[in-house]
Amino acid sequence: MVQSLLILVFSSALFFFYLQAVCERALRREFSRPFFEEIANAIRLEFPALCDASASSASMDFEDARLAFKCDFLTLSYLLKNAGPARRRLPRREKILLLYFRFLLFTLPIRHAFKLKEKEAVLKLATVLQYFANSVGEKLSVDPLAHALFHSES
């Protein structure tokens, strides 16, 4: 019984370590230019302001931040799936980042309750959303019609 529990704990720890490493590698991807500011301003995303508030020493309402992250995530995930010239399936890298974001968002109240690196988690959530916004911007820049429609609505 103890051995089974140790194997489960060790396997879970290795899985989360692997997930973290894969996500860190994906987040290091460089885009041709930074699209996220343009996308964030066009659809009024909250994550840049949350990132700035987290980086400063100002206090933050983590429940409001969690809700804002969730709304931004839903918006960007919809755009990721439906933006661009061909509505193809998401690449594996982006699917893993979607799961990673959900995991971080799920653990945010736990981190806040126990004061476990909550600001680092907020910065990581903002980094993932920045990656998604850059990816959406890159997809929109490829399709001139989608780019024109997107900018005419803002």
pLDDT tens column, 117-151 = 888 888 999 999 999 999 988 888 776 655 555 55
Distances (CA, A) of 134 to 17, 95, 125, 139: 25, 15, 14, 9
Distances (CA, A) of 115 to 18, 80, 106, 128: 24, 33, 15, 22
pTM for this model (two decimals): 0.83
**20-54 pLDDT per residue, tens:** 899 999 999 888 888 888 889 889 999 998 888 77
Cα 26 to the center of its chain, rounded Å: 11
Amino acid, single-letter form, for residue 20: Q
